[in-house]
């Protein structure tokens, strides 16, 4: 009986997240931090700040798995300056401090966007109480204040976010309407002055495949570089769905930007599906995640792959795409899905 008792004791003492294989390959990654080390890129997640504060299991997995984090909403303008001149840094500060304690780098998201602007700003522009000259000064002050606050603590900023329409035209935002296209160069210059060491990115969705958007974004980058504007990277958001073909030319698109001297990052990766979840859908989802990481590691300039939330418990997808969901690499109970294991299986860059 003694051998059986010993075996039982060893079983009960096994760690909660033990490797599922009895004799794991020592060269096979055991978690996402191992994946980051293997490929020499950052592996990150967007962070739901309320969950970071309130959910111990969420916080534990986030800090165990990821080498990079992005504030999902805590650094957006309406969050940090809900009233003019009244700043609320507590949530953004908490994310940055949690990252410091857990040896994670931080992506700042986002300095300039057409959405999630504070009501005092949009209403002031709409009623004419904020004219173009004042709007430009407000934007300069916002970028300078936020970047200076986190100087030396942010690896990369999404300086301008989603500035190109699907047809390849510049987005008709309050920034373009009132400041003209030069606002893009201004934003990069102001951010660089506030923190000369941070990497500065242009970030967009559907840039993986939408040809008009690709060409316009390439033109923006070339124009900025010709003006000696400090732009260092391009972010491909990577919001994919298994009901659509995987963007098979993505790696080549990455290379076109890399050839301009830019860093590459996959900044907001998720892969949604039409519900209900089935084993076949999970297998397709896993293949999309695998291919996204494989595309990134095939391009030397690709420095980061970040998922837009790592658990279906807090995914943004069901709130935006009716009847769709299950877009993340862990389920609602933080259990690994095939997508997680697919990321572990991507071979080293050759």
Q: Tell me: the pLDDT tens digits for 64-89?
A: 999 999 999 999 999 999 999 999 99
Burial of 48 (0-12, 13-18, 19+ CB in 10 A): buried
What is the 3-state secondary structure of the chain? CHHHHHHHHHHHCCCCCCCCCCCCCCCCCCCHHHHHHHHCCEEEEEECHHHHHHCHHHHHHHHHHCCEEEECCCCCHHHHCCECCECCCHHHHHHHHHHHHCCCEEEEEEEECCCCCCHHHHHHHHCCCCCHHHHHHHHHHHHHHHHHHCCCCCCEEEEEECCECCCCCECCCHHHHHHCCCHHHHHHHHHHHHCCCCEEEEEECCCCCCHHHHHHHHHHHHHHHHCCCCCCEEEECCEEECCCCCCCCHHHHHHHHHCCCCEEEEEEEEEEEECCCCHHHHHHHHHHHHHHHHHHHCCCCEEEEEECCCEHHHCCHHHHCCCEECCCCECCCCCECHHHHHHHCCCCCC
pLDDT over 80 (residue 6): no
Which of the residues are catalytic?
268
- 216-263 pLDDT, tens per residue? 999 999 999 999 999 999 999 999 999 999 999 999 999 999 999 999
pLDDT over 90 (residue 12): no
Q: What percent of the chain has pLDDT over 70?
A: 92
pLDDT of res. 78: 98
- 17-51 pLDDT, tens per residue? 434 444 456 678 999 999 999 999 999 999 999 99
What CATH architecture is 37-344?
Alpha-Beta Barrel (3.20)
pLDDT over 90 (residue 214): yes
Model's pTM, two decimal places?
A: 0.92
pLDDT of res. 16: 36
Based on its alpha-carbon atoms, the radius of gyration of the chain, rounded to whole angstroms, reads 21
Average pLDDT over residues 160-188: 98
Residues 6+ apart with CB under 8 A from 204: 161, 162, 163, 164, 213, 217, 235, 236, 237
Q: What percent of the chain has pLDDT over 90?
A: 91
pLDDT of res. 28: 87
Burial of 131 (0-12, 13-18, 19+ CB in 10 A): exposed
Residues 6+ apart with CB under 8 A from 300: 258, 349
pLDDT of res. 331: 98
pLDDT of res. 7: 37
Which of 1-5, 167-171, 233-237 has the lowest average pLDDT? Answer: 1-5
Across the chain, mean pLDDT equals: 93
pLDDT of res. 349: 75
Cα separation, 133 vs 290, whole angstroms: 47
pLDDT of res. 17: 41
Average pLDDT over residues 123-150: 98
Cα separation, 58 vs 39, whole angstroms: 25
Average pLDDT over residues 186-204: 98
pLDDT-derived band at 347 (thresholds 50, 70, 90) equals: very high
Distances, alpha carbon 321 to alpha carbons 125, 137, 350, in Å: 30, 37, 38
- 294-343 pLDDT, tens per residue? 999 999 999 999 999 999 999 999 999 999 999 999 999 999 999 999 99
Cα separation, 327 vs 329, whole angstroms: 7
Enumerate the domain spans of the chain. 37-344
pLDDT over 80 (residue 2): no
pLDDT of res. 3: 39
């Amino acid at each position: 009986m003694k051998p059986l008792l010993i075996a039982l004791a060893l079983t009960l003492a096994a760690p909660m997240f033990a490797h599922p294989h009895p004799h794991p390959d020592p060269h096979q990654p055991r978690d996402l931090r191992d994946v980051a080390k293997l490929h020499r890129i950052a592996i990150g997640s967007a962070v739901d700040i309320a969950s970071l504060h309130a959910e111990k299991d969420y916080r534990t997995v986030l800090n165990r798995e990821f080498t990079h984090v992005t504030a999902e909403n805590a650094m957006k303008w309406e969050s940090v300056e809900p009233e003019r001149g009244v700043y609320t840094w507590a949530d953004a500060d908490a994310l940055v401090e949690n990252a410091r304690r857990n040896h994670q780098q931080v992506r700042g998201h986002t300095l300039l966007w057409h959405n999630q602007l504070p009501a005092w700003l949009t209403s002031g522009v709409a009623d004419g109480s904020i004219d173009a000259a004042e709007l430009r000064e407000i934007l300069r002050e916002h970028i300078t204040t936020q970047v200076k606050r986190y100087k030396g603590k942010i690896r990369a900023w999404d300086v301008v976010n989603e500035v190109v329409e699907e047809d390849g035209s510049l987005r008709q935002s309050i920034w373009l309407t009132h400041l003209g296209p030069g606002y893009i160069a201004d934003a990069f210059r102001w951010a660089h002055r506030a923190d000369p060491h941070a990497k500065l990115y242009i970030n967009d969705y559907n840039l993986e495949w939408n040809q008009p958007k690709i060409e316009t974004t390439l033109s923006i980058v070339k124009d900025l570089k010709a003006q000696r504007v400090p732009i260092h990277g391009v972010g491909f958001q990577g919001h994919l769905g298994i009901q659509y073909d995987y963007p098979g030319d993505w790696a080549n698109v990455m290379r076109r930007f890399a050839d301009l001297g830019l860093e590459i990052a996959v900044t907001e990766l998720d892969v949604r599906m039409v519900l209900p979840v089935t084993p076949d859908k999970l297998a397709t989802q896993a293949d999309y995640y695998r291919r996204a990481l494989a595309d990134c590691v095939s391009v030397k300039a690709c420095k980061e792959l970040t998922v837009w939330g790592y658990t279906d418990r807090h995914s943004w997808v069901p709130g935006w795409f009716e009847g769709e969901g299950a877009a993340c690499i862990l389920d609602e109970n933080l259990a690994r899905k095939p997508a997680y294991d697919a990321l572990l299986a991507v071979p080293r860059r050759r």
